[in-house]
Amino acid sequence: VRRLHLDEGAVLEPRPAVVTVMGHVDHGKTSLLDALRLTSVAAKEAGGITQHLGAFVVSMPSGASITFLDTPGHAAFSAMRARGAAVTDIVVLVVAADDGVMPQTLEAISHAKAANVPIVVAINKCDKPSANPERVKIQLGSEGLLLEDMGGDVQVVEVSALGRTGLDKLEETLLFQAEMMELKARINGPAHAYVVEARLDRGRGPLATMIMQSGTLVSGQYVVVGAEWGRIRALRDMMGKVIEKAWPAMPVEIEGLRGLPMAGDDVIVVETEDRARMLSTGRKEKMERDRLRKAME
């Protein structure tokens, strides 16, 4: 409600797309994310060492970029959505070219449809001698996906995560899809974001990777994250570089929270420490009441 109020009448600016990879087990979601991550500047600068922090950014020669959520799987997608976090703009549906459409492929299609999120199909493992991408297309077509080859508007790209082929084409297709969607966000004013991953670091304490939804987040601000709060001691981009500010669709890591939040938690900025404490306490009390009520049912 607060966010809607803030966004009303605000100037909206174009923003990058946030993409989630889904598909049947073993069809290559993790491999595809690894391969895509290696095309990112962060991986190049780190000499090919890839870090899993919940998200990464691929920058294109044109200057455009794509944010990938680094948690494959339907559970993450559903859990986030169930908590009201509609973070994903596009779903990459991975289908193995040899295996074809399987139960979790269909599940992914229905999740994406229910969430009204467009699908880009990546037919993976095209390096395999047994690969049969044409069969996959026919199967998807008969499941109601209107593929571009068949006069529809669902884009299909043939890739090999292991052979690292078709990745440029996939990224270009995602950019094209994003352009058609004309994704926009408010970039001025208080930030709103969602946590995609949180972990406890021995030296640095609770760390949360979040995806910016709107506004500008500034290092040093007080934030309430789910039922936790803190003051941003350090704001880092996905290359681990300390930055001052973050804008919509950027994944950033924040340090300075007092407790560990959960994936799907929302992040808001408040003016003072008192306000942060008060909101956090209120939310914790509400969680406790809900827990007790559930236990009594």
- HSE, CB side, 13 Å, CA atoms: give it for residue 191: 28
Q: What are phi and psi of 293, to 5 degrees?
A: -60, -45
**CB closer to ligand GDP, 124 vs 173:** 124
Collapse the DSSP code of 180 into the 3-class scheme (helix H, G, I; strand E, B; otherwise coil) and give the result.
helix
116-145 residues in contact with ligand GDP (CB under 6 A) are 124-125, 127-128
Name the segment binding ligand GDP (CB under 6 A); options: 156-164, 174-182, 256-264, 284-292. Answer: 156-164
Tell me, what amino acid is at 209?
T
Q: Whole-number minimum distance, CB 131 to ligand GDP, in Å?
A: 8
Q: Which one of 160, 177, 214, 219 is in contact with ligand GDP (CB under 6 A)?
A: 160
Interacting residue with ligand GDP among 3, 12, 30, 283 (CB under 6 A): 30
Q: Is residue 29 within the footprint of ligand GDP (CB under 6 A)?
A: yes
| Region for 95 from its dihedrals, namely left if φ exceeds 0, alpha if ψ lies in -120 to 50, beta otherwise | beta
Distance of CA 251 to the CA centre of its chain: 8
CB of 73 to ligand GDP, least distance (A): 8
Residue 110 vs 281, nearer CB to ligand GDP: 110
Nearer Cβ to ligand GDP, position 28 or 190? 28
Which H helix or E strand runs over 126? none
Please state the φ and ψ torsions of residue 108, each to the nearest 5 degrees. -65, -40
List binders of ligand GDP among 62-91 (CB under 6 A). Answer: 72
Using N-to-C axis directions, what is the helix angle for 167-181 and 29-38, rounded to 10°?
90
Of 85 and 97, CB closest to ligand GDP: 97
Distance CA 204, CA 129 (A): 48
Of 28, 54, 261, 264, the one binding ligand GDP (CB under 6 A) is 28
Residues near ligand GDP (CB under 6 A) are: 23, 25-31, 72, 124-125, 127-128, 160-163
